[in-house]
Amino acid sequence: MIVMKTDATQEQIDQVIKEVKKYRLRVDVSKGRYKTVIGLIGDERKIPFAHFAALPGVKEAFGIEIRYKLISREYSKFSGETMERRIVKVGNIEIGGDEPIIIAGPCAVESKEQLFRIAEEVKKAGAHILRGGIFKPRSSVYSFQGLGGEGWEEAVGASQWLQKAGKMFDMPVVTEIRGEAQVDLVAEYADILQIGARNMYNQDLLTKVAKKKKPVLFKRHFGASIEEFLSFAEYIAAEGNKDIILCERGIIPIGKGKEYTRYTLDLAAVPAIQKETYLPIIVDPSHAMGRRDLIFNMSCAAIAAGASGLMVEVHYNPAEALVDGQQMITPDELKDVIDVCRRINKMTMPGRNKS
């Protein structure tokens, strides 16, 4: 990291950047009110920091060990500002602000009718953002892979429905990009680009998605530590895209015997991550639980833990859903979740203690 002097000129800054690029590293330039900080992206071991410290306009130059410096609270202090929190704006929705944001919709888009009906009902229940899977990652090649698995035409069609449903019911839309070949398509129609848990370690996909400069909903892999999760979020930030919404969705359960929940929801990751980064983090209780009768309580718990929102799967008739029917709740149940979560949020959201 290279901290420029308060009175460093743009020319001096440009000179430093030029020098850095000679070493084949990229830069993240962060202009604070008081000083400009140049973050180095790439293998810092190549860099002769003493040499950089001696360049005109440079105040300090030093290596940083942390693997997620661009998104860390710590790093934001160097520019003379403390980024308490980053609010990701999508349309008129603010993720990471004072209200818990509810992303809701079907697990998979199955038909235009299904999607529009659910969109209407979740909107009425109070949801802010519409979700719907087109390219479904599945553990078995023998399972329904979403309409995107039926053919390209179907994928385009489903994407258009999603966009239209969002417009009709005034909600931004989010859907998952499962592979690199889907990036352009999804980025054309969706407002938020989701990277699923199974792709958390897929750095090539992360980089390609990040470049679209749209907000990214980034889910934690079920085998990943918090440190790994943030280190891979850094791959997105390294492309200059810091509109990242983190999402905890459960980790591998341990212990012998019957499983009562599909994954172990690691709610302590929520406040723990908030101490590390200014990015907002939401929780997906649906995939974590895999059963609808725990969604109410775990949604409330997520908000109480400090989450900035929820991503919940909803269906007017869960029994007829092609994918994951057993974990969907109804629009009425969603309304109940939203009502209680709003009240809890007022008592527990980060910053509450300061007021």
231 is a site residue for a copy of itself (CB under 8 A): yes
Q: Which of 112, 117, 102 is nearest to 317 (CA)?
A: 117
CB of 111 to a copy of itself, least distance (A): 15
Give the up-direction half-sphere exposure of residue 288: CA atoms within 13 A in the CB hemisphere: 27
CB of 36 to a copy of itself, least distance (A): 21
- Candidates 95, 171, 217, 344; binder of a copy of itself (CB under 8 A) is 344
Contact 116, 165 (CB under 8 A): yes
DSSP-assigned states of every residue in 56-84: TTEEEE-----TT-TTBHHHHHHTT----
CB of 319 to a copy of itself, least distance (A): 15
Tokens of 343: 């009240």
- Candidates 80, 157, 240, 253; binder of a copy of itself (CB under 8 A) is 253
Residue 55 DSSP code: S
Tell me the window of 79-87, 101-109, 137-145, 168-176 that interacts with a copy of itself (CB under 8 A). Answer: 137-145
Q: What torsion do the CA atoms of 303, 307, 309, 310 make, to the nearest 10 degrees?
A: -70
- The footprint of a copy of itself on residues 29-88 (CB under 8 A) is 41-45, 67
Q: Which is nearer to a copy of itself, 162 or 251 (CB)?
A: 251
Q: Rounded to an integer, what distance in angstroms lies between the CA atom of residue 316 and that of residue 228?
A: 37
- The footprint of a copy of itself on residues 292-321 (CB under 8 A) is 293-294, 296-298, 300-306
- Candidates 16, 165, 245, 288; binder of a copy of itself (CB under 8 A) is 288
CB of 188 to a copy of itself, least distance (A): 18
What is the distance, to the nearest Å, from the Cα of residue 241 to the centroid of all Cα atoms in its chain?
12
- Candidates 11, 180, 188, 332; binder of a copy of itself (CB under 8 A) is 180
CB of 262 to a copy of itself, least distance (A): 8
- Candidates 114, 202, 241, 277; binder of a copy of itself (CB under 8 A) is 202
